[in-house]
Structure 1
Amino acid sequence: MIKDADGIRFFTKNGFDWTTKYRALEDESAALEAESFIIEGETIVTNEAGLSDFHALRSAITRRPQDLYLVAFDLLHLNGHDLRDMALKDRREILQALIPVGGRIQFSEAMPGTGDAVYHLACEAGLEGIVSKRLDSVYRSGSTMNWRKIKCYVEKEMDIIGVKRETGKPAMVLMADQGRYMGGAFVTFKADKRQALWDRVQSKAGAPPPKGLATEKAEWLKPGLVGRVKFLKGEAKLRHASLKDFREEY
């Protein structure tokens, strides 16, 4: 979020101007007591439990913009001063003083405790993951180990109903859970275990495409091959999924 002589503007992390999508936040942004600023934050919408709901965010942006919040976690510029060489803890102290309590622009409070404990609590609460930054770090654009996003994952057994093996692309198994197609999971096994999987696949090959999946370029399998897959928690379909193990079901 930027405020300067041209007014308030909102940009995504990839540089897209989404100001028109976030008009509901514009008045509160303009009311912050500063002539100019660059604030880094995350737009969210909350569920009935008051937790951030990633899946509801897209529809809220287009249909319920009045439900959006902007959670601010870093301050890069203020009133013409570049703050990026200050330590994060000092930038956040200034940011917290800038943002009024109780509005739709909120200061992102840090959670006390070790990283492992905070990560465990976030995953148990059904959140997407945690973001952590070193308190003494200066701000630098791009990838850095001073700034980490760690996502929550879960593992579950599902039916392997097909495989995709295309030249130049990672191999993938296609999964179903109680008859419902869930998507694909990457195969990252070492050579011997990978070959054992392909042997099982060969013995199951030849099934017709499941209903609704005829256009998928895949080898479809007869029932009986089960895989344990690791994927992002709280997703309706597999995201960032990988196959951890497999077995035949007799």
Structure 2
Amino acid sequence: MFELSQPVIAKVVPTGPDWFHEIKYDGYRLQVIRQGKVVRLKTKGGHDYTKRYPWIVETALKIRQDHFVIDGEAVVLGVDGISDFDALHSGRHNDEVQLYAFDMLAGDGEDMRKLPLAMRKMNLARLLRRRPEGIFVAPFEQGEIGPDLFRAACRFGLEGIVSKHRERTYREGRCDHWRKIKNKDHPAYRRVIDQLR
């Protein structure tokens, strides 16, 4: 298991052609690690969720490449297509949990963390092509659209966005080329505030 890269909290969406902008899904951060016929699901805190989320494991085993590590967010999608944290946290929908994959850290035994994000995302798209369910590539937009995307995310009641610099390598721990901009009206924001009290 690799140590995860963590975004810093930002108040302003970065602009410019070199930024990718992703919707922030309300779920659990997860690494999917496949080594041959063995798949493990590891949380940000190092917990093993392999038995908890069978759909992700089954999907990972169907992928042609048999050695990879992908980084993403485990979610339960509501009927509206929006991630439902309460349904995920309840544990009653574990067989419905899917993964929004947003990064690829290793493939075919090669460590990809030194590659720029744009190349890692290309490798991820190649790995997951024709995988519409279970594990799928998290969509993203590039460039000046970031502020508009954030406003749209807030209008739709989403958690916010994460903006990432397309040319940077994958760095463990907090890094300023991953920036999380939160919707202050979303329940996830209130959960964090409540924890700090």
Same fold per superposition (TM over 0.5): yes
**SS of the counterpart of 2:169?**
coil
Equivalent position of 2:62 in the other structure: 31
Equivalent position of 2:141 in the other structure: 111
> Which string of whole-angstrom CA distances, capped at 9 and with x for unpartnered residues, describes residues 43-95 of structure 1?
01111211112222112xx2222321111000011011111111101110111
- How many residues are paired up? 161
Residue identity in the other structure for 2:43? T
- Map 1:1-250; keep pairs closer than 5 Å: 1-5=32-36, 7-59=38-90, 62-99=91-128, 100-112=130-142, 113-153=144-184, 233-235=185-187, 238-241=190-193
RMSD: 2.0
Contact 2:39 2:61 in 1 (8 A): yes
Displacement of 1:5 in angstroms is 4.4
**SS of the counterpart of 1:34?**
coil
Residue identity in the other structure for 2:76? V
Distance in 2, Cα, partners of 1:73 & 1:123: 21
Distance 1:118 1:36, change over 3 A: same
Displacement of 1:118 in angstroms is 1.3
Residue identity in the other structure for 1:66? D
Distance in 2, Cα, partners of 1:239 & 1:28: 31
Displacement of 1:17 in angstroms is 1.1
Distance in 2, Cα, partners of 1:236 & 1:80: 36
TM-score, L = length of structure 1: 0.60
Residue identity in the other structure for 1:115? G
Residue identity in the other structure for 1:95? L
Contact 2:55 2:134 in 1 (8 A): no
Residue identity in the other structure for 2:133? G
Residue identity in the other structure for 1:88? L
**SS of the counterpart of 2:191?**
coil
TM-score, L = length of structure 2: 0.75
Higher RCO structure, 1 or 2 (CA under 8 Å, sep 6+): 2
Contact 2:39 2:60 in 1 (8 A): yes
Distance in 2, Cα, partners of 1:132 & 1:55: 25
- Which residues of structure 2 form unaligned runs of 5+? 1-31
**SS of the counterpart of 2:103?**
strand
Displacement of 1:236 in angstroms is 9.4
Larger Rg: 1
